[in-house]
């Protein structure tokens, strides 16, 4: 059994290990014929089975010296753990929401009404278009959804880079006798570098160290590449830094052995949901009164081959992933 702390509600309860690791249908994808497949769930399970003997060796062997092939498998496994979690699904959602605000905003209300009319194949009133415009530009932002297949696509596109950031580091095992380790629903810990500016985020590229607990007493600590591989001695500081990163980096749940100290003790709960995406600079692209002819001219003249990643108001209706907060005669066509 594990003790689970829900940072969203502040509740604490005992759960089984299997219950702690289950998020049903999280990676289920919809195939072209409309059927649903759990193929990627099985692939993740296969990857975990492949490294299971290596993890057991790291937790049990007195002298741990993994081979280059084993380190490569562990690198891929850690990269998958980093990318597959619910925090990255929410990050993708926040990026999509911001992109939606930018795209619709720069196109103006007239183009939104035009796109809705084209997509619904009927005349859309100004009031209908204004309701959607106001929903997208509401203070909380638009409600959007990222599917399991879209998350998988992101993992496939990011896995190589994530593995590179992890694999180039030096590898160290820390075995604790008295200190205990917590885990969370996003199990890769990111320890800020000593010179890290508090206003900047911490990621795989700039973290001082990357950690992952293999059990409650064994920690993998991936350090600067100039440090040689080998075990680090246990320390209160290392355990505290890891557990702090576990609490800070948790999407919702923190787990620990029932007999271990609670790293969330003293933390004000429930905790406000942290923002994962903060675009830099000025990003208010709302141009409500932009003429429709101006937008259509830009779309017609834009070279999509030369600038495939440029953001312009060339969207169609329904907008993929957008889920309006309010209902209307157009809302059923947006899902």
Place of tokens 């779309």: 299
pLDDT of 40-60, one tens digit each?
A: 888 888 989 999 999 999 999
pLDDT of residue 114: 97
Write a three-state SS string for 209-258: EEEEECCCCEEEEEECCCCCCCCCCCCHHHHHHHHHHHHHHCCCEEEECC
pLDDT of residue 32: 59
pLDDT of residue 275: 77
Q: Which residues contact 298 (CB under 8 A, 6 or more apart)?
A: 312, 313
Whole-prediction pTM: 0.86
pLDDT of residue 334: 42
Residues 175, 173: Cα–Cα separation, whole Å: 7
pLDDT of residue 38: 79
pLDDT of residue 293: 96
Phi, psi at 135, each rounded to 5°: -65, -45
pLDDT of residue 335: 43
Residues 243, 176: Cα–Cα separation, whole Å: 13
Residues 154, 70: Cα–Cα separation, whole Å: 25
Element (H, E) at 294: helix 292-301
Q: Residue 236's closest CA among 178, 166, 184, 185?
A: 178
pLDDT of residue 106: 93
Q: Are 230 and 236 in contact (CB under 8 A)?
A: no
Q: Residue 180's closest CA among 56, 248, 263?
A: 263
The three-state secondary structure class of 170 is strand
Q: Which residues contact 96 (CB under 8 A, 6 or more apart)?
A: 144, 146, 321
pLDDT of residue 327: 59
Residue ranges of the chain with pLDDT lower than 70? Answer: 21-35, 278-283, 326-335
pLDDT of residue 272: 87
Both tokens of residue 121?
A: 């194949």
């Amino acid at each position: 059994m594990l003790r689970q702390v829900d940072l969203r509600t502040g509740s604490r309860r005992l759960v089984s290990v299997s219950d702690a690791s289950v998020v049903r249908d999280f990676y289920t994808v919809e195939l072209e014929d409309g059927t649903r497949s759990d193929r990627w769930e099985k692939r993740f399970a296969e990857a975990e089975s492949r490294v299971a003997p290596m993890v057991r060796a790291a937790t049990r062997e007195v002298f741990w010296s993994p081979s280059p092939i084993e380190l490569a498998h562990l690198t891929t496994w850690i990269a998958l753990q980093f990318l597959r979690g619910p925090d990255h699904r929410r990050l993708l959602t926040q990026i999509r929401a911001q992109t939606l605000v930018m795209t619709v905003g720069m196109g103006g209300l007239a183009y939104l009404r035009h796109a809705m009319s084209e997509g619904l194949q009927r005349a859309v009133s100004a009031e209908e278009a204004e309701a959607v415009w106001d929903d997208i530009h509401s203070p909380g932002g638009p409600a959007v959804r990222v599917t399991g297949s879209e998350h998988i696509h992101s993992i496939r596109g990011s896995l190589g880079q994530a593995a590179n950031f992890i694999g180039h580091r030096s590898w160290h095992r820390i075995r604790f006798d008295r200190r205990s380790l917590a885990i969370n629903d996003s199990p890769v810990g990111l320890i800020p570098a000593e010179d890290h500016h508090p206003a900047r985020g911490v990621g795989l590229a700039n973290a001082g160290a990357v950690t992952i607990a293999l059990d409650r007493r064994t920690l993998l600590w991936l350090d600067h590449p100039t440090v040689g591989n080998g075990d680090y001695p246990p320390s209160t500081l290392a355990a505290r830094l890891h557990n702090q990163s576990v609490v800070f980096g948790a999407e919702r749940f923190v787990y620990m052995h029932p007999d271990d100290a609670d790293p969330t003790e003293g933390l004000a709960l429930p905790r406000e949901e942290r923002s994962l995406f903060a675009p830099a600079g000025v990003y208010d692209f709302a141009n409500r009164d932009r003429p429709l002819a101006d937008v259509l001219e830009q779309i017609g003249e834009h070279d999509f081959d030369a600038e495939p990643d440029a953001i312009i108001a060339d969207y169609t209706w329904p907008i993929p992933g957008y889920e309006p907060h309010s209902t209307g005669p157009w809302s059923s066509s947006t899902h």
